[in-house]
């Protein structure tokens, strides 16, 4: 059983850009999205995956991910997804000896920039760089599954 533990923060400024170590562009959509579970198909670079996430409890939730053929993923995005696709560029940022992922959203979520930090356990101490702002871990509006049904541009 796989468990994802992460915390999310709004990004205040571009200070993180000087520490970027890589990037990848994602297009993703949701095949199912309920309070209990979300099922997502995602294309990132030349890889495609099907992802299942359980309901969030604190900063933790179950997560399973499986590779799928690119052609299948493209057809799922085109034909089966509910709501607009979530499109973003994810930047991999190393700051304060922590590995951050900064998502810069596009399309109907343009203007939203969120930083995520995956943790080993929920009590792990997080040191915030000066570019990290308000924590939004517990605000469901910032979850990609919610951004697919209620994009940032409609808030």
Is 91 an active-site residue?
no
Of 26, 30, 142, 143, which is the active-site residue? Answer: 30
Strand residue runs (E) in 55-81: 60-67
Lookup: tokens for 107: 């399309």
**Cα dihedral sign, 120-121-122-126:** negative
CATH of 3-154, one of 3.40.50.300, 2.40.320.10, 3.30.70.100, 3.40.50.2300: 2.40.320.10
pTM across the whole model: 0.93
Question: What is residue 36's three-state secondary structure?
Answer: coil
3-state helix, strand, coil in the chain (%, to 5): 20, 50, 30
Give bridge partners of residue 141 from the DSSP assignment: none
Report domain extents, the chain. 3-154
Per-residue pLDDT of the chain (155 residues; tens, 9 = 90+): 588 889 999 999 999 999 999 999 999 999 998 878 999 999 999 999 999 998 877 778 899 999 999 999 999 999 999 888 999 999 999 999 999 999 999 999 999 999 999 999 988 999 999 999 999 999 999 999 999 999 999 99
Task: Find out whether 31 and 150 touch, Cβ atoms under 8 Å.
Answer: no
pLDDT at 59: 78
pLDDT of residue 57: 74
């Amino acid at each position: 059983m796989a468990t994802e533990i992460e915390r999310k923060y709004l990004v205040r400024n571009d200070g993180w850009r000087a520490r970027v170590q890589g990037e990848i562009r994602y297009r993703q959509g949701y095949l199912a999205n309920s309070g209990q579970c979300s099922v997502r198909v995602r294309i990132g670079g030349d890889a495609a995956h099907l992802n299942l996430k359980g309901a969030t409890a604190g900063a933790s939730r179950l997560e399973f991910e499986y590779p799928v053929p690119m052609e299948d993923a493209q057809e799922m995005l085109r034909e089966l997804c509910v709501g607009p696709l979530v499109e973003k560029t994810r930047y991999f940022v190393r700051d304060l000896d922590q590995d951050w992922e900064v998502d810069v959203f596009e399309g109907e979520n343009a203007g939203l920039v969120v930083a995520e930090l995956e943790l080993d356990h929920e009590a792990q101490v997080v040191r915030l760089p000066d570019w990290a702002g308000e924590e939004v871990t517990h605000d469901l509006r910032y979850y990609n599954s919610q951004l697919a049904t209620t994009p940032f541009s409609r808030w």
